Amino acid sequence: MLERYVDAPRMTKEELKAMLGNPNLIIIDVRYGKDWTDSDLKIRGAVREDWKCFDSWANKYPKDKTLLFYCA
SS (H, E, C) 4-19: HHCCCCCCCHHHHHHH
Range 15-36 average pLDDT: 90
What does the pLDDT read at residue 6?
Answer: 63
Give the model confidence (pLDDT) of 19-29 as tens digits: 999 999 999 99
pLDDT in tens, 58-70: 899 999 999 999 8
Four-point Cα dihedral 49, 50, 55, 61, nearest 10 = 0
Q: Domain ranges in the chain?
A: 2-70
Of 65, 69, 70, residue with least CA distance to 22 = 65
On average, the pLDDT of the chain sits at 86
pLDDT at 65: 93
Whether 26 contacts 69, CB under 8 Å: no
Name the pTM for this structure: 0.78
Tell me the residue type at 60: K
